[in-house]
Amino acid sequence: MLEILSKENFNLLFDKIEGLAWFPWVGREYLKGQYKILIIGESHYGEGYNDKNATRETIEEELYCNDGITQTFRNITFLLKNEEGNDPILWDNIAYYNFVQRAMCDPKDRPNEEDFNNGWEIFPKIIEVLKPDICIFIGVTASKFYESSMSAMSIPYAPLQLFDPISNVSPRIGSIQYDSKNLKLYFIKHCGMGFSQSKWRDFLQNEIPSQLYWVEQLDKDTLSYQQKQEILENEFVPQLKELAQENGLIYENTDINVIDDPISFTFQNPKWRDHKIVFEFWHTNLRGLIYGIYTENADQRLQEFILNSNATRDSGWAYFKAYAYFNWKDYAFEAIRSGGLKEYFRQRIAGYILKNTEGIDL
């Protein structure tokens, strides 16, 4: 399977699975990892899921466009990595798909028994392609049909093991004999509203400590301060100047010393009088990003932007918190060299800030 590294090759295999509505997300490093972790969500909700790439597009938008506003994905990151936000490094190393193969049109809709039975019929075909070491189900409803489905498909399985409830939901573990190995299936509470991050993290920490330790070690930090500074000054700053020019802005050199916290990047808009666009990596070890507009003359104009955009206000700041952060370890500098971080800034500037400042005299 190691030769199957591209989305195109995966698609050829997934396309052969009858009844599979959407291609699973497969991180670019998934097959190379020490552990292959498959996360299994429950359902898509809403319209617009007619494309087979919808699951992948949803995750990409969540990581790089929507700033990680969906609670379920943020909680998955906390479960596996013990960190807030949506971490691209994590998603580069795991696989994900939704168990139920039809979209729920209304938030109040729930999958029915047929949906879950169909999901179990497809499940063995998914793991035949992805060959995971463990499967973590986000939601426990599928477990109600686990034993009957395995029996119907003549797949050897261990009876479901139930544990004491956490947040009123009993975690449960099953296992199947598949492809000459024992594959464990972990069923936990759905990661949406009412989910206790720390309690469910503790449960997984007790059950799969080696896998979680491996996930936590995915962040590599091999570059020296001098190397990081050179990449910022010689590669990223020219990218930002180019980005500024493309959007009619002027890039200002600000605080970009990688040893210090925070690191900030500022853009001037010639059409504005006294407001600036600022990106600032803050938080401990530069592991959080806020971006928005800043002024020393905070007045009603700033409030207009906040009303337009739902930004958060703090003195002269009107900002957004980016849950889909880049940290200042190897991953960030790979993203600079690939153009990924520049593209992230582009989306934030054009899609959020400039769009929501139209018509405001800043």
Q: What is the pLDDT of residues 53-109, one digit of tens each?
A: 888 888 887 776 655 567 788 888 889 988 776 678 888 899 999 999 987 776 677
For residue 199, what pLDDT is reported?
92
How far is residue 235's CA from residue 105's CA, in Å, rounded to a whole number?
Answer: 45
For residue 2, what pLDDT is reported?
36
Q: Which residues contact 218 (CB under 8 A, 6 or more apart)?
A: 81, 89, 90, 93
For residue 5, what pLDDT is reported?
45
Nearest-5° Cα angle at 104, 101 to 106 = 175
DSSP helix/strand/coil, 295:
strand
Sheet holding 157-162, edge to edge: 25-26, 94-98, 37-41, 134-138, 181-188, 172-178, 157-162
For residue 59, what pLDDT is reported?
83
Compute the 3-state secondary structure of the chain and give helix, strand, coil in percent, each to the nearest 5.
Answer: 40, 20, 40
Token pair, residue 27, equals: 């991180």
For residue 283, what pLDDT is reported?
56
pTM over 0.85: no
H helical segments located in the chain? 7-14, 54-64, 71-81, 88-91, 113-130, 146-152, 197-207, 209-216, 225-231, 237-246, 300-309, 330-338, 340-348, 355-357
For residue 314, what pLDDT is reported?
85
| Alpha carbon distance, N-terminus to C-terminus of the chain | 56
For residue 326, what pLDDT is reported?
64
Please identify every stretch of the chain with a pLDDT value under 50, giving residue numbers as ranges. Answer: 1-5
Q: Are 140 and 169 in contact (CB under 8 A)?
A: yes
For residue 192, what pLDDT is reported?
73
